[in-house]
Amino acid sequence: MKLEMKNIFIGLVLASTLAKAQVPSPAAIENSKVWIMAGTLHIGNGKVYTNASLRFDKGIITAIDSFRAPKDFPDHKIFLAKHVYAGLIAPNTTLGLNEVDAIRSTRDYNEVGQNNANIRSLIAYNTDSKVIPTLRSNGILLAQITPSGGNISGQSSVVQLDAWNWEDAAIKVDDALHINWPRMSLQFGWGAESSEAEKGQIEMAINAMNKIFSDAKSYCSSKGMEVNLKLEAFRGVFGGTKKVFVHTDGAREMISAVQFMQRYGIKPVIVGGDESHLITKFLRDNQIAVILIRTHNLPSLPDDDIDLPYKMPKILHDSGVLYCLADVSAWQQRNLPFQAGTSVAFGLTAEQALMAITKNTAEILGISDKYGTLEVGKSATIIVSEGDILDMKSSKVTRAWIDGRPIDLDDTQKQLNRKYNTKYFGK
Amino acid sequence: MYLIKKFLTLYLLVSGFMVWAQIRVPQNGVVDAFEGITAFTNCTLIKDPQTKVLNATLIIQNAKIIAAGPALIIPKEAKIIDLHGKWVYASFIDLWSEYGVAKAQNKANERGPQFLSSKKGAWYWNEAIHPEVKASEVFSVQKEEAKAMRDLGFGLAVCHQQNGIARGTGLVVALGNETEQKMIINSSYGHYFSFNKGNSTQDYPSSLMGSIALLRQFYCDSKWAMGAKENEIDLSLKNYKLSQGMPHFFETGDVQDLLRADKIGDEFGIQYTLKGNGDEYQFIDEVKRTNTHLILPLNFPEAFDVEDPLDARLIGLTELKHWEMAPFNPVMVYNKGIEFSMTLAGLKKYDKFWTNIYKSIANGLTEEYALRALTTNPAKVLKMEALYGTLEVGKFANFIITDGNVFKEGTTILENWVLGKQNVNIDWQNSNYSGKYNLAFNDSTYTININGKSWQPKAEFQPKTKGELKLSLKNGFITYQLTLKNGKFSNGSGYKTGNNITLISSDSLGKPMTFSAVYIGPADVPTDSIKKKTEALVPKYALPWQYNLPKELSYLIANATVWTCGSQGKLENTDVLIKDGKIIGLGKGLINQGAVKIDGTGMHLTPGIIDEHSHIAISKGVNEGTQSITSEVRIEDVINAKDVNIYRQMAGGVTTSHLLHGSANAIGGQTALIKLKYGEAPENLKFPNDHRFIKFALGENVKQSNWGDFNTIRFPQTRMGVEQVFQDGFMRAKAYGDLKKTIGYRTDLELEALLEILNAKRFITCHSYVQSEINMLMHLADSFGFKVNTFTHILEGYKVADKMKNHGVAASTFSDWWGYKYEVVDAIPYNPGIMQKVGVLTGINSDDAEMGRRLNQEAAKAIKYSDVSEIDALNMVTTNPAKMLHIDNRVGQIRIGMDADLVLWDGQPLSNYSKPQTTWIDGKIYFDRTEDAKKRLEISKERQRIINDMLKAKKKGESTRKAGKTLEPEYHCDSEN
């Protein structure tokens, strides 16, 4: 195939050698139609096409088909790419709420108090966090910014990772209420916490939660009541427009939480789910989705299969449980694709593994109408890589668009890399 | 004849001397101290564990035995106690007790650091070292506690104040009720030690390795105090010096601690008597090698309540297994030929003491040894076997009277005589109501059978259907409740009249009435249903990690892609032959010299991964961060062979780990190098290397930046101060080196380690982040004439890579960690690549138990971020760390003569789509994925078997404890202890 070179951008960023030491500016929308010629096009729903074309216009994917001659679409800006994926999504992260773990003044994710239903993460999301571009550099373009702590941590929002401020970052405002379910089993030994279980107060804790939910239901079903900020936060929860994410790991806790929520007509999402493998049938039958946190983890019990955390995606996939992957904290999120990759070593195909950081995540977060897969009509939120992005030895993200805007993939770490390469090697 | 003569002579001697005893304490009233002679006749006398005398007599006078044996002439004036049917044993000796000793008071713990001892005076600088404490000075007789111990059969106890690391001296006491002056047999006996700092509020030591170092330094100090002219007084050392020659006892927390204590003893020429913990079976061969006399508790754990499988699954097999194994511990120790005594210590409830002895005997411990462990063995330890422990003439009258074989369930200890003084447990000499009687009642005559123990009569109608009769006995009288089948009821009391029983009741008007039960003959005794003796089987394997330890075999790994990590690079379709723990062949078409052939087609073989920075397999604290310099502490003292992460990491291809002290202080502890041979004892894990290492640290952890508001006092609090800590340390070490050329110096373990650095015998691996401090340490090292060996973490190494190259220091870094504290805001994933390209020897480490399982993937990130070649990337976790650790002559490459530490991968070793199939260490397969699956099944079955047994135990009414998850520490550099 002979290509007209003037429109073609080889899939490598020609990085600026100027050290900027700052977060790059958010991009404007592509001023022309874009055509990506992909060696391998990973749709994100399990399908993969080789030698495929993807075209988008004004931020929306307009076509996916096979390789065509450049002259077919002369008005398109053309990019050659080896691997093309939908932008990756990091759920349940403190990104933008947490700059440096050890510095208190940079931690904005954990409010005091047990019931913080009214807390909203979005307004604290710092679009100028130096962490954000390092995630983009590994293909993560969307994230669910989530508070933590207390029994009810507050509300998360879903954002895209290239914005001037939280307003233009938001793609789903106050998407979910986050609840920590009380641990129901006992802990002993090193660093054991004294939770409700040790104090024999599980029932009390669940009763307290019940009071909050019944109050909220009553409050939300009537109008003209005196405003109660905490209960106000539940609007949408009962109508199904705001999700409830329950953070818990134990099988008993998951069952307890799901049945509790079902009494209020709520279908919660489980975050954590260490023991999901014990109750796959329950999860599937009740259509409960699970966000696995950090599968690059040690088994929680000494006699567990040494690879249990690595195998969890395969177990849930095979059982028909909808699940996706998350990592902890903020900066660690850039390794999310490699956690998906590890599940390939333990039985999933690469395309199945990919779903756990794209399509499945979008479905669980309720943004699959626009994000998570490369399909006509969906957002042009796309990454391009030199190799398989799930394997660290080949993942090299060279280009990305969010809603059709070409993202500057530079970050402060790349800047430092250039600075010292120049120092030592003059380049 | 000769013997009898001897008895008589002795009897005369003793009685002759003891006519009149001096009384020192003023008496209120006339003196009343008659003792006389007491003869115990017709008993079964267990003179010593081997000697049982039937129909024996025991004669005592003035607290001592003056005769013991069959057919003795009883002095006329003797009080006679007929012990027909009773057995007499020497009473027991508890070597590990806190009886009567006041507990050390807990002190208020103020927030913020406490560097020095809060004990005022010229004492040892550390508050946990107080050999001057004399338990006898805080001893008082505690009558209730003494009775509780006596009722179990004990007559003597060896007590000490169970507080601190050097706890002071103990005492030997008799468990009678007389004054302290009389009950203390030896007021100064034994020195006691532990690893637990007790009520000391001083910061140091905060870790087990710190306790060990402190104790070692104490022994060094006392050795010095023995010899040299003291230019300063230390009353603690002085006290210790005065009580030299006393036996040393050591309390430990578990079997690995026990081995650690013994090692200290070996170093300083002390054979400790070690208090065990009931888990000795876990490393029984190693315990045997300590040559100790064990003091064994009988603290068998309760079963877990496992009715809910979701709870049951939280309990590790080791814990489940311990429930099953602990009752076998005594017999396993016995079978190994380890001498031991048994103690009450560790029992939460004393009533379990006998239950657990019965269990031990049912499990195979002989009755004879059980008795030895309670009598002659402790007497021997006390070197008091001439006076206690057996019932021979001349020994103290410390004995118990039982109604049968004391080791048979159902036997009762009736009396316990302490130093010739009677203590009654059971009022057994009351009237004996045993017999068969005719009872005239309600116009009929009923036959009543009364049997059971004489102090616990049990009555029944014959035949049983006629009615019910309940009896109890008090002060010689019985009370009864009688119910006939027809509902007629009577109650009242009764007493013995000759052979008959006179019963007193009242009629319906309340008028007293009496009637009789007429004796018609001896009671019918129910014949014991002979229990079938079940053969006690010691369960097959003690612990999960001891399943199937690998065999030494020769292996031929054929036709694999071999990553040599050496000059030969990557070899396709190549064979590797290993034998006797070494690689003996590398090439194509190797001949299978009787080796097990493993087909490596399509697979990749690499050297075992070497983790330069790991904190797995460490017991009880990774940081001794209480002082800025703690070079005296050693990770090798606290290797935890039971850590399951050893196995998990090996399953991720790691074969050698460098276990580092944390980074809480500028000069941390000495490191340990281990091979991950899971299942072996701690000492067998150690990688023998002449070149030793030590952890240094710089930056925020050292200056306590993230330790909260109460830690702002310890020097240094700035990077400026950190330099001065090193400067000062090395100057002192240098001066110490000069002092060592003289005589009479005090061995200083802290400076010894620093001196080794100056003498190039010990090498530094230094936790580091920021370029300024990195540069500083290289300058400082240059000024003292040594080289920094390795910078670990070294996240800003890329900024000073050229200087590092010039210094010759290696870099062992994370692939991509950053953002967790201020000093890592400039950390970049391009760091390893830049350093490597500049020419610094670069490795990738974990510092994390999880990341250690996939270091190959972390190395692969150097390809992603810096386009490092695949071979160079793999070298970063194999040969490069081997070079840093000066073990590249043994490991890190595949070539002939190297240790056979190998990993066979099911795919390209730098891909996270691959995983290890088999891991060899020293030529043995310690991990194999196929075997692992089988082992897992076995573990699962074993768990279920024990869980079922626990369910049965609960059904039988045994008490249980709640099930839950026992958390194990996971250490990182900045773990708080």
In this structure, is the dihedral angle defined by the CA atoms of residues A20, A24, A29 and A32, taken in order, positive or negative?
Answer: positive
CB A80 within 8 A of CB A5: no
What is the structure's pLDDT at B72? 84
Contact A185 B310 (CB under 8 A): yes
Alpha carbon dihedral B161, B165, B169, B173, in 10-degree steps, equals 30
Q: Please state whether the peptide bond connecting residue B463 to the residue before it is cis, i.e. omega within 30 degrees of 0.
A: yes
CB B241 within 8 A of CB B129: no
CA B199 from chain centre, in angstroms, equals: 20
Q: Please state whether the peptide bond connecting residue B113 to the residue before it is cis, i.e. omega within 30 degrees of 0.
A: no
What is the structure's pLDDT at A321? 98
Contact A100 B870 (CB under 8 A): no
For domain B435-521, the CATH architecture is: Beta Barrel (2.40)
Would you say residue B97 has pLDDT above 60? yes
Note the ipTM here. 0.95
* DSSP code string of A222-244: SSSPPP-HHHHTTTTTTTTSSEE
Contact B850 A413 (CB under 8 A): no
Nearest to A393 among B644, B863, B943 (CB): B863
With bands split at pLDDT 50, 70 and 90, how would you rate the model's confidence at B243?
confident
What is the structure's pLDDT at B921? 97
Q: Search chain A and give the residue with CA nearest B704.
A: A102
* DSSP code string of B873-936: HHHTTTHHHHHHTT-TTTSSS-STTSB--EEEESS-TTSTT--EEEEEETTEEEEEHHHHHHHH
- A88-371: what fold? TIM Barrel (3.20.20)
Task: Check CB contact of B692 with chain A, cutoff 8 Å.
Answer: no
What is the structure's pLDDT at A8? 55
User: Hunting for tokens 């603290």 — which residue is that?
Assistant: B299
* From B289-293, B553-557, B970-974, the region with the lowest mean pLDDT: B970-974
Distance separating alpha carbons of residues B906 and A207, to the nearest angstrom: 51
* DSSP code string of B632-692: T-BGGGGB-TT-HHHHHHHTTTEEEEEE---SSSSEEEE-EEEE--TTS-HHHHB---SSE
What is the structure's pLDDT at A9? 53
Would you say residue B15 has pLDDT above 50? no
- Mean residue pLDDT across chain B: 92
pLDDT tens-digit map of B254-263: 999 999 999 9
B304-316 mean pLDDT: 95
pLDDT tens-digit map of A304-360: 999 999 999 999 999 999 999 999 999 999 999 999 999 999 999 999 999 999 999
The distance of A313 to chain B (nearest Cα, Å) reads 14
Nearest to A101 among B819, B828, B850 (CB): B819
Provide the 8-state DSSP code for B391. -
For domain B609-891, the CATH architecture is: Alpha-Beta Barrel (3.20)
pLDDT tens-digit map of A56-85: 999 999 999 987 777 888 899 999 999 999
Instruction: Give counts: helices (H), strands (E), chain A.
Output: 12, 17
CA neighbor of B891 nearest in space, from B932, B919, B931:
B919
Distance separating alpha carbons of residues A238 and B156, to the nearest angstrom: 73
What is the structure's pLDDT at B16? 45
The distance of A225 to chain B (nearest Cα, Å) reads 44
Task: Check CB contact of B970 with chain A, cutoff 8 Å.
Answer: yes
Contact B310 A250 (CB under 8 A): yes
Nearest to B965 among A301, A330, A342 (CB): A301
Task: Check CB contact of B651 with chain A, cutoff 8 Å.
Answer: yes
The distance of B291 to chain A (nearest Cα, Å) reads 32
Q: ∠A337-A340-A346 over CA atoms, to 5°?
A: 150
B457-481 mean pLDDT: 87
B432-437 mean pLDDT: 90
How many other C-beta atoms can be found within 10 angstroms of the C-beta atom of residue B924?
Answer: 17
How many other C-beta atoms can be found within 10 angstroms of the C-beta atom of residue B573?
Answer: 13
Checking B829-832 for CB contacts under 8 A at 24+ apart, the result is: B829/A413, B829/B861, B829/B864, B829/B865, B830/A413, B830/A414, B830/A416, B830/A417, B830/B798, B830/B865, B830/B866, B831/B794, B831/B795, B831/B796, B831/B797, B831/B798, B832/B862, B832/B865, B832/B866, B832/B868, B832/B876
CA B174 from chain centre, in angstroms, equals: 28
B565-593 mean pLDDT: 95
Set of chain A residues whose Cβ sits within 8 Å of the Cβ of B913: 341, 344-345, 350, 391
Contact B864 A250 (CB under 8 A): no
Nearest to B310 among A189, A251, A303 (CB): A251
Q: Distance of CA B543 to CAs B294, B651, B941, Å?
A: 21, 19, 14
Which positions ≥6 away from A318 have C-beta within 8 Å? Answer: none
CA neighbor of B274 nearest in space, from B294, B247, B254:
B294
Would you say residue A14 has pLDDT above 60? no
What is the structure's pLDDT at A17? 43
Contact A191 B969 (CB under 8 A): yes
pLDDT tens-digit map of B704-727: 988 888 888 889 999 999 999 999
Distance separating alpha carbons of residues B818 and B829, to the nearest angstrom: 9
Distance separating alpha carbons of residues B455 and B473, to the nearest angstrom: 7
The distance of B333 to chain A (nearest Cα, Å) reads 27
Q: Where along chain B do its domains lie?
A: 435-521, 549-608+892-922, 609-891
Instruction: Please report, rounded to a whole number, the percentage of residues in chain B having pLDDT higher than 90.
Output: 76
pLDDT tens-digit map of A221-245: 988 889 999 999 999 999 889 999 9
Task: Check CB contact of B816 with chain A, cutoff 8 Å.
Answer: yes
Distance separating alpha carbons of residues B950 and A92, to the nearest angstrom: 41
Contact A190 B969 (CB under 8 A): yes
What is the structure's pLDDT at B443? 80
List the 26-85 stretch of B: residues with Cβ below 8 A of A. none
The distance of B869 to chain A (nearest Cα, Å) reads 10
Task: Check CB contact of B825 with chain A, cutoff 8 Å.
Answer: yes
Interface test with chain B among A186, A248, A252, A393, by most B beta carbons within 10 Å: A393
Amino acid at B798: Y
Distance separating alpha carbons of residues B351 and A137, to the nearest angstrom: 67
Alpha carbon dihedral B69, B72, B76, B78, in 10-degree steps, equals 10
Contact A420 B799 (CB under 8 A): yes
Distance separating alpha carbons of residues B811 and B841, to the nearest angstrom: 6
Set of chain A residues whose Cβ sits within 8 Å of the Cβ of B837: 424-425
Burial of residue B591, with CB atoms counted within 10 A of its CB: 0-12 exposed, 13-18 middle, 19 or more buried: exposed
What is the structure's pLDDT at B473? 86
Distance separating alpha carbons of residues A144 and A171, to the nearest angstrom: 10
Q: Where along chain A do its domains lie?
A: 5-86+406-425, 88-371
Q: Distance of CA B399 to CAs B50, B391, B396, B732, Å?
A: 16, 8, 9, 61
Contact A185 B314 (CB under 8 A): yes
Would you say residue B593 has pLDDT above 50? yes
CA neighbor of B331 nearest in space, from B306, B305, B309, B298:
B298
Would you say residue B911 has pLDDT above 90? yes
pLDDT tens-digit map of A253-266: 999 999 999 999 99
Q: Search chain B and give the residue with CA nearest A338.
A: B912
Set of chain B residues whose Cβ sits within 8 Å of the Cβ of A346: 915
For domain B549-608+892-922, the CATH architecture is: Roll (2.30)
Distance separating alpha carbons of residues B447 and B524, to the nearest angstrom: 12
Would you say residue B833 has pLDDT above 70? yes
CB A321 within 8 A of CB A280: yes
Chain A and chain B share a number of CB contacts under 8 A equal to 156
A29-44 mean pLDDT: 94
B883-912 mean pLDDT: 98
Instruction: Give counts: helices (H), strands (E), chain B.
Output: 24, 43
What is the structure's pLDDT at B23? 77
The distance of B323 to chain A (nearest Cα, Å) reads 16
Q: Looking at the whole model, is its pTM more than 0.90?
A: yes
The distance of A161 to chain B (nearest Cα, Å) reads 18
Q: For chain B, state the CA radius of gyration.
A: 36
What is the maximal distance between C-alpha atoms in chain B? 116
With bands split at pLDDT 50, 70 and 90, how would you rate the model's confidence at B230?
low
More confident residue, B522 or B405: B405
List the 903-932 stretch of B: residues with Cβ below 8 A of A. 907-908, 910-915, 932
Would you say residue B530 has pLDDT above 60? no
What is the structure's pLDDT at B647? 94
A5-86+406-425 CATH choice from 1.10.150, 2.60.40, 3.20.20, 2.30.40: 2.30.40
With bands split at pLDDT 50, 70 and 90, how would you rate the model's confidence at B12?
very low
B954-966 mean pLDDT: 94
What is the structure's pLDDT at A155? 98
What is the structure's pLDDT at B1? 43
Structure tokens at B328: 């076998």
Distance separating alpha carbons of residues B396 and B421, to the nearest angstrom: 11
Edge-to-edge, what's the strand order for the sheet holding B489-497?
A: B458-462, B444-451, B435-441, B512-521, B500-506, B489-497, B477-484, B467-474
pLDDT tens-digit map of B360-387: 999 999 999 999 999 999 999 999 999 9
Nearest to B966 among A188, A338, A420 (CB): A188
Please report how the helices B831-838 and A412-425 are oriented relative to each other, as an axis angle in degrees rounded to 10.
Answer: 0
Distance separating alpha carbons of residues B227 and B223, to the nearest angstrom: 7
Contact B830 A391 (CB under 8 A): no
